[in-house]
Every structure is written in structure tokens, then in C-alpha cells.
């Protein structure tokens, strides 16, 4: 199975150490209320219209042959001079994506960077990620995986041999609070994290700080949990950009 990619960010400095290429895969099995990448939730392509950017030029309607029954071909987005329309979801073979990643190999080497697979939830596609990660690792490109950890351990077993770093999301430790915010229980997430630590894997914990959800006593618990295990812990500030993207999705 070839998963859909909704974004590729080159020269990223926020998705692991050094300069990195971050690849964002579509599809997620959490439903975080604050999600800042709602275009990554569905595993299928989606079309978005940012109405505030539309200049009414009509270029999209001139090229579209399926205005009554959109087939998500993306021609309207490609023709839009104002970037008001965007198609989220493109497929790449392993070799195609590997070629894109390799384009910045000199920057990775100079800064201690590499490639980061993210999402959505990239670990929903362990066979694809493992194949791509193996090609990168064998060519000397450091591989990081950004995951919420809500996947079978077998997915980690497939990817870990070629992965040097895991960016691991912990939204809440309290099971009921976690389910309230994400729609799922966190038992598997915490179980996988403990297995990763026992295996001696390098893990950075990331916590989005959500006002009124985990910014009080729960955040203190997460910080203590990380400190007890000697884990690096990054706090990610909340922003509302996800709302505008969610409202823009029309198909």
C-alpha cells in the first residue's frame, strides 16, 4: 500500500535535530480536539478552499471538468494563482520520496539533521515506512519517526532497525482525560513507550500544551514522568491554525 502524503517540509528545524526534511502522511487513529493538522486525519485525499484568499479570478472553473462531481484531480488547486485551493494528498513510490529526501543530504550532514516521518500517524504504514527508512539509513541519512504510539508493537518492530530517534507524543497520562481529548485510551501508547525505553531507544517526549485540558496538574504529572525516566521533554505551544484548515476542507 502506498499512503498519501499531505505535506513535505524541507529545511525544517522543528521536527528533530539539525536541518531536516519532514514528510507528513495522511491518516490518523486519534481524534484530538485541538489537532493542528486536520488535513492529516483522513487517509484519503481532500480538497480545501480558503475563501479569504480567493480573488474571484475564475481560473479554477476554467480548468475544471468535474465541477458537479469533484474527483479530486487537483487541477483547480494547481491553477489557482492565490493559493486559495489546495489538494491534500499525493502518492509517491518509495524511490520517488527517497529522491526528494536525498536532495538535501549535504544539509543533513552539516547540521546533524535527517528525515522525519510524521503525520497524521506515519506508523499506520509500517511496511512502507520501513522500506523507505532502510534506504535512507543505508545512505547515511538519519531517520526520525514522529508518532503518537497508538499502533501495534509489530509496527515499531518493522521500523526500529532503521530509526535513530523517536519523537513521541504524550498528551495526557490520565486515561479518562486522554480519551476525552483524543477519543482513545492511552494504555497502548504508554505500553509501547515503556517497551521503547527498555530497548534503549532514543526518545524525545512531546506534549502539546492545551489550555483548559492539560496545562495544569496533568502537565506537572507528565513532566515528573519524563524526569523520572531521564527523558528530554519538549512542550509545544497551542495555536488555533488547525481550525481554519479544518473549516476550509470542502471535499
Tens digit of pLDDT for each residue in 39-81?
999 999 998 888 888 898 988 888 887 766 788 888 888 888 8
**d(C-alpha 221, C-alpha 105), whole Å:** 39
The second-level CATH assignment, the architecture, of 4-32+99-239 is Alpha-Beta Barrel (3.20)
Q: Over range 133-144, report the average pLDDT.
A: 98
User: What are the structural domain ranges in the chain?
Assistant: 4-32+99-239, 46-88
Burial 178-190 (b: 16+ CB within 10 A, else e): beebbebebeebb
> β-strands 165-169, 46-49: how paired?
unpaired
Cα angle value 231/36/161 (rounded, 5°) = 45
Question: What's the pLDDT tens digit per position in 73-103?
Answer: 888 888 888 888 888 999 999 999 999 999 9
CATH topology of domain 46-88: Alpha-Beta Plaits (3.30.70)
Question: What's the pLDDT tens digit per position in 190-244?
Answer: 999 999 999 999 999 999 999 999 999 999 999 999 999 999 999 999 877 767 7
Amino acid at each position: 500500500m502506498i499512503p498519501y502524503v499531505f505535506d513535505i517540509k524541507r529545511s525544517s528545524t522543528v521536527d528533530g535535530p539539525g536541518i531536516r526534511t519532514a514528510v507528513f502522511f495522511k491518516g490518523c487513529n486519534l481524534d484530538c480536539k485541538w489537532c493542528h493538522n486536520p488535513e492529516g486525519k483522513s487517509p484519503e485525499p481532500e480538497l480545501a478552499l480558503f475563501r479569504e484568499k480567493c480573488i474571484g479570478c475564475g481560473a479554477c472553473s476554467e480548468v475544471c471538468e468535474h465541477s458537479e462531481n469533484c474527483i479530486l484531480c487537483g487541477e483547480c488547486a494547481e491553477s489557482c494563482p492565490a493559493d486559495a485551493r489546495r489538494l491534500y494528498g499525493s502518492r509517491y513510490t518509495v524511490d520517488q520520496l527517497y529522491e526528494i529526501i536525498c536532495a538535501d543530504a549535504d544539509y543533513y550532514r552539516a547540521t546533524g539533521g535527517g528525515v522525519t516521518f510524521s503525520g497524521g500517524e506515519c506508523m499506520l504504514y509500517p511496511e512502507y515506512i520501513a522500506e523507505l527508512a532502510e534506504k535512507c539509513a543505508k545512505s547515511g541519512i538519519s531517520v526520525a519517526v514522529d508518532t503518537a504510539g497508538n499502533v501495534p508493537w509489530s509496527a515499531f518492530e518493522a521500523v526500529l532497525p532503521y530509526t535513530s530517534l523517536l519523537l513521541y507524543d504524550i498528551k495526557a497520562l490520565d486515561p479518562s482525560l486522554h480519551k476525552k481529548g483524543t477519543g482513545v485510551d492511552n494504555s497502548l501508547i504508554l505500553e509501547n513507550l515503556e517497551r521503547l525505553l527498555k530497548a534503549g531507544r532514543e526518545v524525545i517526549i512531546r506534549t502539546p500544551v492545551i489550555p483548559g485540558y492539560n496545562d495544569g496538574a496533568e502537565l506537572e504529572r507528565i513532566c515528573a514522568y519524563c524526569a523520572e525516566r531521564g527523558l528530554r521533554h519538549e512542550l509545544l505551544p497551542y495555536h488555533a491554525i488547525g481550525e481554519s484548515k479544518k473549516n476550509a476542507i470542502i471535499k
